[in-house]
Amino acid sequence: MTTITPEIPHFTAPEAGPARPGMQTLLSAVRGRLWLGQFAVAVRAAAWATAGVMLLAAAVHATARPVPVGAVLAALGLIWSVWLARAAWQRPADRACALWADQHLGGASAFSTLLETRQGARARGHAQAVRQLENWVSARLPHSLRQLAVRRDPARLARPMLAMVVCGALATLVLTLPGPSPTPQPFAAAPAGVTAPDAALRLADAPEPAALAGEIAAALRAAPSRDAEAAGGGRRSPAAGPVRADDAIAPVRVQAGPAPAGARPADKPLPVATADAASPARAGATPAAGGGGGREAGDSADARAGTGLSRALRGTMDAQGVTLAATRPTGQRRVDSDQAASYESDDSETGRRVATAVLNQSAPAAATPQPATESTRLTPTQTSYVQAWMKASQRRP
């Protein structure tokens, strides 16, 4: 809101003396200021656009294809030309200048009103008012011109210029680098006789870690398959390795999961449960017997299928039943559950005999780490892959 300075006389004729500046003087000065403001706006917009174009060029150059510097400069020249020409073309009109002076130079709507009265015939019947208005404007003009002279409108060019400089430096740095290499070909398997130094030399153009991991996984999957084929296709799981001596006597505590791992000699009877597993109180709560904990312990399908007893009796049930349920693979236990259902009405000794006979069949034992054998060792090619993948993984943050 503008205020009226006390120096302006109320309804008095202009004082005689030196010629006062006219309205056009103020309008011209305001027009110059507004034009300057338009150029500042244009420079701001062009600077932001320049920063954007440079960032875009750097990104394209770094990722997709080399960007010629000439094309970037041409785009920048076009942008600046358009913005500056637009600012130069839009000459502030007299009305806009008068309104600006009213708003910012304490004009109290006098400049725009006087302009309207001069341009139109609307104030024909208000000659006295127009005369008073002219007097008021004449008295106000020097103050407004002084205000205009001391007025400093912030151009607000710092941020766009800074952004332009930073983006320009970045783009210059990126554009001086060579363009991106062509898309890498799928990593070919190294020849069988490649040596460690060769593999080290190939590290420079090693494929991406993800692709390398896929290759390694495929190679590792291929090795057990070859082993299984070499073993003659027995009943053992393809992942099952040779039997270790200590596997057969190890306490059976874990591996309630369905995947059998490791092997147990087919001719060796299943050992009686250890002290842990045989304890009636702990049998239902052991992770081997049940899939859950707390109240749900012992409620797994294994426990239910293995005994066929009620929950109330589980605490005092025969330890053998619990041991059987805990040690057999899932598939086998499911078979047993059917059998147990039929044995339920039999004599307990008969059932125990049948269950023991079933368990004596060759069943995979608890999982144990696969022992390193000649057949599972990596080939030199796979070794080189693994080394390259590990080094590549170490380089990554």
Partner 1 sequence: MDEGQPATPVIDASATASVGASDFSYADAHRQLHELQAVLGRVIVGQQELVTHLITAVFAGGHVLIEGLPGLGKTHLAKALAAALGLQWARVQCTPDLMPADVTGAEVYVTAAGGASSFEFRPGPVFAQLVLVDEINRATPRTQAALLEAMQERQVTQAGVTHALPSPFCVLATQNPIELEGTYPLPEAQLDRFMFKLTVPFPSRTSLREMLDVSLDAEPADTLQPVASPADVLRITALCRTVLLGERCKEAAVDLVLATQPLADDAAAAADAGARRHIRYGASPRALQALLRAARVRALMAGRAHVDVADLAAVALPVLRHRILLRLESELDGQGADATLAAVIAAWQQRL
Chain residues binding partner 1 by CB under 8 A are 1-4, 8-12, 99, 102-103, 108-110, 112-114, 116-117, 123, 125-126, 128-130, 132-133, 136
Residues 381, 190 contacting (CB under 8 angstroms): yes
Contacts of 314 (CB under 8 A, 6+ apart): 283, 284, 298, 303, 307
Nearer to partner 1, 107 or 262 (CB): 107
Query: What is the smallest separation between the CB atom of 113 and partner 1, expressed in angstroms?
Result: 3
Q: Could you give the CA distance from residue 32 to residue 102 in angstroms, rounded to a whole number?
A: 16
Query: What is the smallest separation between the CB atom of 10 and partner 1, expressed in angstroms?
Result: 3
Query: What is the smallest separation between the CB atom of 37 and partner 1, expressed in angstroms?
Result: 19
Nearer to partner 1, 131 or 226 (CB): 131
Query: What is the smallest separation between the CB atom of 287 and partner 1, expressed in angstroms?
Result: 56
Residues 252, 327 contacting (CB under 8 angstroms): yes
Nearer to partner 1, 83 or 111 (CB): 111
Question: Closest Cα to residue 110, out of 144, 161, 65?
Answer: 144
The number of beta carbons lying within 10 Å of the beta carbon of residue 24 is: 11
Q: Could you give the CA distance from residue 285 to residue 55 in angstroms, rounded to a whole number?
A: 63
Q: Alpha-carbon torsion 197, 201, 204, 209, what sign? A: negative
Nearer to partner 1, 26 or 297 (CB): 26
Contacts of 326 (CB under 8 A, 6+ apart): 252, 256, 273, 277, 283, 286, 288, 289, 302, 306
Residue 332, token pair as written in the block? 């086998």
Query: What is the smallest separation between the CB atom of 3 and partner 1, expressed in angstroms?
Result: 8
Contacts of 391 (CB under 8 A, 6+ apart): 203, 206
Would you say how long the chain is, in residues?
397
Residues 44, 157 contacting (CB under 8 angstroms): yes
Nearer to partner 1, 126 or 146 (CB): 126
Cα 96 → chain centroid: 50
Nearer to partner 1, 65 or 122 (CB): 122
Which residue's structure tokens are 């710092």? Answer: 158
Query: What is the smallest separation between the CB atom of 109 and partner 1, expressed in angstroms?
Result: 4
Nearer to partner 1, 144 or 300 (CB): 144
Query: What is the smallest separation between the CB atom of 5 and partner 1, expressed in angstroms?
Result: 12
Q: Alpha-carbon torsion 336, 340, 346, 348, what sign? A: positive
SS3 content of the chain, % helix, strand, coil (to 5): 55, 0, 45
Nearer to partner 1, 31 or 140 (CB): 140
Nearer to partner 1, 5 or 225 (CB): 5
Q: How far is CA 261 from CA 234, 239, 348, 365, in A?
A: 15, 7, 31, 6
Query: What is the smallest separation between the CB atom of 55 and partner 1, expressed in angstroms?
Result: 33
Query: What is the smallest separation between the CB atom of 156 and partner 1, expressed in angstroms?
Result: 20
